[in-house]
Amino acid sequence: MEVKIARTAGFCWGVRRTVDKVMEVADQRPGAVVTLGPIIHNPQAVARFEVETAQARGLEVVDGTCPYVKYPQAMAQRLSREGYHVVIVGDANHAEIKGVVSYAEGPCTVVKPGGPIPEIQAKKVAVIAQTTCIGADFERVVGALAVRHKEVRAVNTICNDTEERQADARALAREVDAVVVVGGKNSANTRHLAEICRAIQPLTWHVETEAELQAAWFAGCRTVGISAGASTPDWVVEGVADWLGRR
């Protein structure tokens, strides 16, 4: 089969940066290197106390948090200090949002994308977004709050990677006979990519590695597209591409 890999498949800028940092630390520092949870979905802010404990014990702490993920944390802190009620458009159960919430030093409300917008008693409201928030969801919440409150300050903390990756996956799904989306079954962004591709090309498969692939899935297919989540390493994507290229 001819294999087409989406331009933006695999590691986003921030993930690559963090993984490189861990590799560098492991190469240069003597002794054990430990990450606080899986490095990619690491809720840096939530783990702050653990980090502090580690520092108190004299351990060296390397902060690998993506700057795009740190930005809404800094904004939550700054805007709540300036007297704004902080509204975060995102998933309250996601580690990233737990981190952002932990930085707010005043009232803070998490609004689920597509969900109801609760009544908030505040004159000044600041709105920030999960880095993976879809633009339309942020737009809806900011607009609705702008007519309810005296002042709304919206800081666009969305990372373009998600939308670009989804746009690329959508374009790819339109031009192939089947799609393979590579990435963790527990990765929300990978699952979302698979949903997007499946809506266009019903012959879409979500796998973690090539070990799951079955030749029968691709009967009659001449071209197959590959997309991958932001936390999927290149070597996993390449393993899948090799397997498909040999069919």
CB of 136 to its own copies, least distance (A): 8
CB of 83 to its own copies, least distance (A): 14
CB of 74 to its own copies, least distance (A): 13
Residue 108 phi, psi dihedral angles, 5° rounding: -150, 135
CA distance 62 to 55: 10
Q: Is 210 a catalytic residue?
A: no
Alpha-carbon torsion (75, 81, 87, 92), positive or negative: positive
CA distance 215 to 163: 31
- Which H or E run includes 171? helix 160-174
Identify whether the C-beta of residue 117 lies closer than 8 Å to the C-beta of residue 96: no
Per the DSSP assignment, residues forming a β-bridge with 207 are 182
Binding stretches for its own copies (CB under 8 A)? 127, 135-136, 138-140, 142-144, 146-147, 149-156, 158
CB of 138 to its own copies, least distance (A): 6
CB of 16 to its own copies, least distance (A): 23
Nearer to its own copies, 75 or 104 (CB): 75
Nearer to its own copies, 4 or 85 (CB): 85
The one catalytic residue among 24, 96, 105, 195: 96
Nearest CA to 43 out of 108, 89, 93, 107 is that of 93
Nearer to its own copies, 154 or 244 (CB): 154
Q: Is 217 exposed, middle or buried (0-12, 13-18, 19+ CB in 10 A)?
A: middle
Question: DSSP labels for 186-198?
Answer: T-HHHHHHHHHHH
Report residue 35 as tokens. 């990450």
Reduced to 3 states (helix: H, G, I; strand: E, B; else coil), residue 216 is helix
Nearer to its own copies, 84 or 205 (CB): 84
Nearer to its own copies, 13 or 217 (CB): 13
Q: Which residues are catalytic?
A: 96
